[in-house]
Amino acid sequence: MEKPLGFGLNGKVVLVTGAGRGIGRAIALACAHAGADVGLGSRHAEECEQVAASCREEGIRAKAWTLDVSRVSSISAFVDSALNEFGRIDVLVNNVGLTIVKAATELSEREFDEVSAVNFKAPFFASAMVARSMVERGIKGAIVNISSQVGHVGGPLRAAYAGAKGGLNSLTRSLAAEWAPHGIRVTGVSPTFTRTEMLERAALNPEFRKNFEKIPLGRPAEAEEVAAAVVYLASEAGRFVTGHTLLVDGGFTIV
């Protein structure tokens, strides 16, 4: 009998953006638990270092860097630092996200640009930089983009965010097709409302809170449930999946 494909990440180097808190923190811990060395980036340097310290308790290497994904130069420095530290990158998780809960008619140009830069521009350039390093080293790696359910069905009061995440889903498909000849897989994960600090802030808007009632499984997601999907897509178990964005939404988009 052939050996089943595993969900481990032993010997892999995983880069995670926005790893200081929320979903990013859960992804970093899950990848470390699966055996990967992890490079972590966040604007919140102290929090990110605390996550790295927790990851090292799994017996793996973990390094944290300050990262501002709104600046391409910061992304470039982050990728270069990780390559200098680990010598390779096998998996990139584009996790950083930003939403502004506001009517489209009230959103300023500055706010629109900020949301677009974090949710679409940053994953584009981070993916391109990491893919270039994979091609140069002959690495058949994986890139996982953290999207959102609103990138599939739309989201009132989050038009710019929904548009950027919809663009990210399309980017995932396009890059998957472009880099498949190099053995690089590009996938995505679209969570529903997930228990994070960002969700707590958004839920201050009573109209936004009504969305929770639309989840058939009856609750928001836990960050660890999103992280589990990332580990699957990054591991050998997901080696024949590319160009697909997996909904982890408690059934939100089926009703």
Beta bridge partners of 15: 39, 92
Q: Distance between CA atoms of 20 and 51, rounded to whole angstroms?
A: 6
Domain assignment present for residue 8? The answer is no
Residue 120's CB: how many other CB atoms inside 10 A?
19
Query: Rounded CA gap, 8 and 20, in Å?
Result: 23
| Distances from the Cα of 125 to the Cα of 69, 79, 121, 169, 244, angstroms | 9, 11, 6, 15, 20
pLDDT under 50: residue ranges of the chain: none
Parallel, antiparallel or unpaired: strands 91-94 and 13-17: parallel
Answer yes or no: is 202 within a domain: yes
In a domain, 97, yes or no: yes
Q: Determine the pLDDT at residue 101.
A: 86
Residue 90 lies in a domain: yes
Q: Provide the domain limits for residue 79.
A: 13-245
The whole-number pLDDT of residue 205 equals: 80
Domain-embedded: residue 2: no
Q: Work out how many domains the chain is built from and give that number.
A: 1
Q: Per the domain annotation, does 254 fall within a domain?
A: no
Residue 196: predicted pLDDT: 86
Beta strand extents in 84-219 (DSSP E only)? 91-94, 142-146, 185-191
8 to 26, 38, 233: CA distances (angstroms):
16, 14, 11
CA–CA distances in Å: residue 47 to residues 21, 22, 51, 66, 227? 7, 11, 6, 10, 18
pLDDT of residue 209: 81
pLDDT at res. 1: 59
Q: Establish if 186 belongs to a structural domain.
A: yes
Instruction: Decide if 252 is inside a domain.
Output: no
Cα–Cα distance measured from residue 88 to residue 37, given in angstroms and rounded to the nearest whole number: 11
Upper half-sphere CA count for residue 191 (Cβ side, 13 Å):
26
Active-site residue numbers? Answer: 161
Query: DSSP assignment of 59-113, as one string?
Result: TS-EEEEE--TTSHHHHHHHHHHHHHHHS--SEEEE---------GGG--HHHHH
Q: For position 156, what pLDDT does the model report?
A: 87
Question: What CATH number is associated with residue 196?
Answer: 3.40.50.720
* Residue 70 amino acid letter: S
Query: What is residue 41's predicted lDDT score, i.e. its pLDDT?
Result: 98
φ and ψ at 140, to 5 degrees?
-90, 85
Whose tokens are 């950083």? That residue is 96
pTM score of the predicted model: 0.96
Q: Is 87 left (phi over 0), alpha (psi -120 to 50) or beta?
A: left
> In whole angstroms, what is the distance from residue 189 CA to residue 91 CA?
14
